[in-house]
Structure 1
Amino acid sequence: MGNPAYWSAESVTDQLDRNLNIVVLMGGWSSERPVSLMSGNGVADALKDRGFTNVTAVDMDRNVAQVLAGVRPNVVFNALHGTPGEDGTVQGMLELMQIPYTHSGVTTSAIAIDKELTKGVLVPHGVRMPKGKIVESKSLYEGDPMARPYVLKPVNEGSSVGVAIVTDGGNYGHPISAKAEGPWQHFDTLLAEPFIKGRELTVAVLGDEALCVTELKPKAGFYDFDAKYTDGLTEHVCPAQVPDNVAKVMMDMALASHRLLGCKGASRSDFRWDDELGEAGVYLLEVNTQPGMTPLSLVPEQARQVGISYGELVERILAEALEGAKKTTGATKG
């Protein structure tokens, strides 16, 4: 699996100039800003620790294009999460400015941030995902869109932002009360999906190889934003204690999704597994094209599991971005 040259730490190190002018783009104004700042600062520190002498951390504001024009970087490490850094907007700006950048491009980002568009690409190719429907939030005050239990989530947010599980015994009401706190108060439309009982798992893909499977065991409730990014709220079991055939299904599905969507650098695919159904109980929930790079993040954890340090992980992502830029420039010139 994967490209042996890509996986050679020595080859990655050799091809990177330590005097590269690198901008680490972080922050922004999405709901995931705090996570992005942690990711970006971690990346910037790692690059400096590995000998890169010209690293600038940029907390993105509305004048980001002017800032980048002043710094004139050779490459941008995109450590943004959520919109506009994960939906193709920033990617389009960087394309116009002819600045190479890490992770996925414009089209992939625009599709993957939208859960319904993602289904439209992946499901026809055999990737199993929950059947869902887009609902107007105000319609929830009149009745349920499907049988309970079901999940409501924003169509284009990540990190489990605004997710609600609606159950018969829940406190949202029958039907959902307009006064009950939930995503219906913050988004005009939502994606409704049947709740998949069972276990929460995730698979990171780096370059063109699935790393391993991690099981996520929240100590209370479900794996929401707070559980993801608050130390001690979730137990990570890495590698997950699941049958080999189930782990293979998830890793194959994550890699296929990465390829079908055209992801670059690192991606992370999140799953639910109904362990009473074996392989048939594996469902892909979403693909994250800008996975977290914080100390609690899953991609660095899985990288460590397969022998890749945090610093090397950052370098590999950077190296792929520069290599992709070379190929694009060569194709344009040709």
Structure 2
Amino acid sequence: MKIAVFMGGTSTEREVSLKTGSAVLKSLMRQGYDAYGVDLTSKNLVKSFIENEYDIAFLSLHGGCGEDGRVQGLLDLLGKKYTGSKAAPSAIAMDKIITKKIAGGIGIRIPKTYINKEDIDKFPIVIKPSKEGSSTGLYICKNMEDAEVALEKLSDRSVIIEEYIKGVELTAGVLNGEALGVLKVIPHDGTYDYESKYTEGKTDYEYPAKVSEKVYKNAMRNAKLIHDELKLSGASRSDFILSDDKIYFLEVNTCPGMTETSLLPKLASLKNYTFDDVVKGLLSQSDTK
């Protein structure tokens, strides 16, 4: 069985994807698999999937054109097995606006969302791209002037505008249908932005999260509800804000990072799974498609 680890890509999360792919490739080789890496760029984005020889595509891609269903759809057309969620669930989960509507529809608490700036009735608010991850392009706006600046900077992208809820960020993981646990994110500067996520020493992580049993169970339950409702496969990681003992769903990641600072491996360790166990688990899930 030959495994191609596809990484890189053309999204704003390219560098993170390369780190994920490198770590996954090292794990596969350490476990004795016949694996190699493929660095996707704008020049080889399609032909790499067609011209390379492999039995399974291990997708280590983050963000658009990698996590949004397009690559998955291409692999379906090629009749290739791959890790992670199928095309339609990937596309739905990538859109924060649609995902939050689904979450709200099944009883999960979500922040108030505004259609446009004219609807904003209270500050502060959060403005961010609706189809990107890793907290790229995230703006916390204290007034309309801030909001207009943020919208101008994000004018080339679809955005989501929602109320800012001051609280603690929690994340809960699911692997092959099993809820893993809950982790508390404690950024040193108060905001869990791109730099805090991917710079060693910028953020502390508490796992299992020291929260009430009720909150812990609700976060686990909601993460699995989202995973199941969207018909996700492999791994997913749902992010929440805890405020006044209530948790608010923010988004779900269908291809969570697997770098040295990533959260999914930390969550998996709560079930005594090693990094290699997670990689092997994702690989075994690809055979069920």
TM-score category, normalised to shorter length = over 0.9
**Compared with structure 1, are the counterparts of its residues 177 and 105 closer, same or farther at alpha carbon in structure 2 (3 Å cutoff)?**
closer
* Partner Cα distance (2:190, 2:56) in 1: 40
165, 171, 174: which one pairs with 1:202? 171
Give the secondary-structure state (helix, strand or coil) at the position aligned to 2:115.
Answer: strand
The yes-or-no answer on 1:124 pairing with 2:96 is no
16, 32, 36: which one pairs with 1:56? 36
Cα offset for 1:150?
A: 1.0
The yes-or-no answer on 1:88 pairing with 2:69 is yes
Whether the 8 Å CA contact 2:100–2:250 is kept in 1: the answer is no
Whether the 8 Å CA contact 2:268–2:274 is kept in 1: the answer is yes
Whether the 8 Å CA contact 2:198–2:261 is kept in 1: the answer is yes
Whether the 8 Å CA contact 1:271–1:286 is kept in 2: the answer is yes
1:291-318 deviation line (CA, Å, top 9, x unaligned): 1000100001111222111011100001
The yes-or-no answer on 1:270 pairing with 2:270 is no
* Partner Cα distance (1:64, 1:249) in 2: 40
* Partner Cα distance (1:56, 1:162) in 2: 32
Alignment of 1:16-35 (within 5 A): 20-35=1-16
Whether the 8 Å CA contact 1:144–1:175 is kept in 2: the answer is no
**Compared with structure 1, are the counterparts of its residues 177 and 190 closer, same or farther at alpha carbon in structure 2 (3 Å cutoff)?**
closer
* Partner Cα distance (1:81, 1:303) in 2: 19
Aligned to 1:296: 261
The yes-or-no answer on 1:261 pairing with 2:230 is yes
* Partner Cα distance (1:297, 1:176) in 2: 31
Aligned to 2:136: 161
Paired letter, 1:300: P
Cα offset for 1:190?
A: 2.1
Give the secondary-structure state (helix, strand or coil) at the position aligned to 2:37.
Answer: strand
Aligned to 2:54: 73
* Identity fraction in percent: 39
Aligned to 2:186: 217
Cα offset for 1:253?
A: 0.3
Whether the 8 Å CA contact 1:154–1:183 is kept in 2: the answer is no
Cα offset for 1:183?
A: 5.5
* Partner Cα distance (2:278, 2:4) in 1: 17
* Partner Cα distance (1:177, 1:47) in 2: 45
Cα offset for 1:70?
A: 2.9
Structure having the higher Rg: 1
Give the secondary-structure state (helix, strand or coil) at the position aligned to 1:176.
Answer: helix
Cα offset for 1:144?
A: 7.6
Whether the 8 Å CA contact 2:58–2:82 is kept in 1: the answer is yes
The yes-or-no answer on 1:306 pairing with 2:274 is no
Give the secondary-structure state (helix, strand or coil) at the position aligned to 1:175.
Answer: helix
155, 176, 183: which one pairs with 2:146? 176
Give me the CA root mean square deviation: 1.6
Cα offset for 1:177?
A: 7.6
Give the secondary-structure state (helix, strand or coil) at the position aligned to 2:146.
Answer: coil
Aligned to 1:245: 214
Paired letter, 2:260: P
Aligned to 1:8: none
* Partner Cα distance (2:139, 2:48) in 1: 38
Whether the 8 Å CA contact 2:9–2:45 is kept in 1: the answer is no
Uncovered stretches (5+) of structure 2, i.e. residues with no partner: none
Higher strand share: 2
TM-score (norm. length: structure 1): 0.82
The yes-or-no answer on 1:227 pairing with 2:215 is no
The yes-or-no answer on 1:192 pairing with 2:192 is no
* Partner Cα distance (2:2, 2:155) in 1: 39
Whether the 8 Å CA contact 1:162–1:183 is kept in 2: the answer is no
Aligned to 2:91: 110
**Compared with structure 1, are the counterparts of its residues 261 and 158 closer, same or farther at alpha carbon in structure 2 (3 Å cutoff)?**
same
